[in-house]
Amino acid sequence: MPSAPALLPRYTGRNDVLADLRSGAVDAIREGCAGVEQVVLVVATDRGPRHAMAPLGQRVGEHLLDLAVGRSDDVLREAPSPGHPPTTGPGTAPPAGLGPTAPAPVPWDASVDECRGRGEALGNGAPPSPLGPGAGYPALRMRAASSALVVVADGSARRGEKAPGHLDERASAFDHTLATALREADPAALLTLDPTLSADLLAHGRAPLQVAAAAMLTTAGRSSGDTGVEPTWRCDRVEVSDPFGVLHVVALLRRVG
Amino acid sequence: MRFRLGQREYDETARLVMAIVNRTPDSFYDKGLTWAEDAAFERVREVVAQGADLVDIGGIKAAPGAEVDPVEEMRRVVGFVAKVREEHPGLVISVDTWRAEVARAVCEAGADVINDAWGGADAELPTVAAEFGATLVCTHTGGQAVRTRPHRVEYDDVRADIVASVTTQAERAVAMGVARDRVVVDPAHDFGKNTWHSLEATRRLSELVATGWPVLVSLSNKDFVGESLDLPVGERLTGTLAATALSAWFGAHVYRVHEVVETRQVLDMVSVIAGDLSPARVIRGLA
C-alpha cells in the first residue's frame, strides 16, 4: 500500500487527487484480508519527524483499513461545505470487521539484518515489536493460515524533475527492481534492496517491505515444516503509478503453499 | 447565524457572489452592455456558468440620470425576471429596486430577494418582502435622497451611523413580517458617503458583521476604489478585489460584483485561508 499523505482526509482537497489510488488500495485490502483473523500493519517510522503523531504509514494504513471495512467513508464524500473542512482523528483504534489489527513499525533506516530479524519473528508467530505508537492494540501473534500483512510502502520519490526529490537517474532501475519483485512474488529479491540507495532515493518502503519479505519466507518454510524450502507465493494484482514523481504500488500477494 | 436566500440556506461562513445584471442603458460600469434583452439573458447564463450564487437585476442606474418611472422600471425588469426564473429554476434572483410596487411585481414573477439599495426610501417595501417570503437587503444611505450623490456629507462616526441605520431597518422589517433569517444588511459603499467614509466602512466592517445580521457589500469598481488608487472606471478590478478580500476576511457574506470569475477566486482563496473551505487540489509534498 502507498503511504502518500494525500490519501488521508486531512490532506485531501476538494478535488480528491488520489481517489483512484485509494480506491485500488482499499479494494486490494478487502480482497486480501477477507476472512483473515488478524491483520498486522507493517510500516516505517517517519524520517526526521517534526511531530508527535503515529508514523505516517501507520495512519495511512489504518485509514485504508477503516475504508476497507466501511467504517470511514469521509474521504469519499462530496466536496466539503464551507465551515466543515475535512478532519480525521489520530487513527489509533483498530478497524472493525477485519479482526484485530496490530501495527508493526520498523525504523525507516533499519538494516537489512534488522528487517530480516523482525520479519522472521513475525513469521514465527511473535507479536509485533512494540516500537513506536501501538498502545491499545492487543498483542497478536501471526498465524500463517489466518493472518494478513498490510505493508505500507512506497518506491522512490525522485522519478522526475518535478518529483519531490528531483530527478535521480538511479530511481527507475531501483523502482523496477521493487515492482518486479512484487509482480513476481519474490521476497528474496526485496531483501536485496540497498538501504543506502533507498535512503538516497527517498524510497520510504524499503524497510517494511524487507520485514514483510522475511516474514513471507519464514512463514512459507514454517508452514511446510522445512525451513529450507523455496517460498511459494503468487501475485494476484499489482498496480504501479507515479503521477507525481513518487512510485506508488498496490500489490496483493498470496501464499499458495 | 443562518440566513436564507430563496430556497437556499447559508451559515456565517458563506461568501456568495451576487452578479450584477443591468437592464439599463446607462449604468456607470457597463454603459448599457446588457440593455438589450438577449444580451442580458446571455449575461445571466454566463455568470451562472462562472459560479455566481445569485444575480441582482436592476432597471435603474444608481447615479442621477434620466427619470425612470415605475412603469418603465417594471417594463425593464418584470418580464425579464420571469424569463430568468423559467430558464434557471434554482437560481436565486435579486432585484435592485426601492419601489414597493416594482418589488411586488418582480416577486410575483419569481424574484427571491429585494435589494433596497436606497435604504428604506419606500416604507412599504418590507410589507412586500414579508408577503412573498422574500429576503430584504437593508442599506445605509445616510439619509441620502434616491439617485443623488453625496455632497459635503459628514458623520460623527460613520461606522456607528451605518450600524444604527441598518439594524433599525432590519428590526423594522422583522416587525413588519419579514422572516428574521431573510434580512441582510449593506453598508452601501459610496452611497451617502465620500471615499473616506467608504474606507472607514471597509476598515471597520467586522463591527457590522458583529451585529449578527448577514452582510452584503457592493464594492465593485466603485469611486472609493477609483479615488483610492486614482484610477478610472475600467481599471479598478485589482483594487476591488483587494477590498473584496479584506471584506471577506472581516466576515461579509454576499458580494455584489461585475467580475464573477475573479471574485469567486478571491472569495474561495479567503475561504481556504480561513479554513472554511478545503483547497481545491492538493498534492505538493503529499504524494
pLDDT along chain A (257 residues), means of 10: 94 92 96 88 89 92 93 44 35 49 92 95 75 41 69 95 91 97 96 97 95 87 53 90 95 90
Residue B278 is nearest to which of A13, A245, A248, comparing CB atoms? A13
pTM listed for this prediction:
0.80
Per CB-CB distance under 8 Å, the chain A contacts of B11 are 82-83
Measured between alpha carbons, how far is B91 from B112 in angstroms, rounded to an integer?
Answer: 9
Task: Say if residues A124 and A141 touch (Cβ distance below 8 Å).
Answer: no
Contact (CB, 8 A) for B190 and B147 = no
Q: Which chain B residues touch A if contact means CB-CB below 8 Å? A: 11-15, 271, 275-283, 285-287
Residues of B in contact with A245 (CB under 8 A): 287
Map grid coordinates 416594482 to a residue.
B102
- Amino acid A176 reads H
Name residue B212's amino acid. G
Residues A246, A165: Cα–Cα separation, whole Å: 9
Which cell goes with B245? 478580500
Distance of CA B201 to the CA centre of its chain: 15
Task: Say what the pLDDT of residue B202 is.
Answer: 98
Check B193, B222, B236, B264 and give the catalytic one: B222
Among B13, B282, B283, select the one facing A83 at the smallest CB separation: B13
pLDDT of A102 reads 85
CA distance B251 to chain A (A): 13
Q: In the prediction, which pLDDT does A34 show?
A: 87
Candidates A13, A164, A243; nearest CB to B280: A13
Q: What is the pLDDT of residue A82?
A: 39
Whole-number pLDDT of residue A229: 61
How far away is chain B from the Cα of A224, in angstroms, using its nearest Cα? 40
Question: Would you tell me how many other CB atoms lie within 10 Å of the CB of residue B228?
Answer: 17
Residue position matching grid coordinates 503468487: A234
Residue B11 bridge partners (DSSP): B2
Give kind and range of the element (H or E) at residue A68.
helix A56-68
Q: In chain B, which residues have pLDDT < 70?
A: none
DSSP-based three-state secondary structure for A69: coil
Beta strands in chain B (DSSP E): 2-5, 8-11, 16-22, 54-58, 92-96, 113-116, 135-139, 183-186, 216-218, 254-257
Query: For cell 457592493, what's the residue?
Result: B218
Q: B113-116 and B183-186 as β-strands: parallel, antiparallel, unpaired?
A: unpaired
Q: Check residue B182 and report its DSSP letter.
A: G
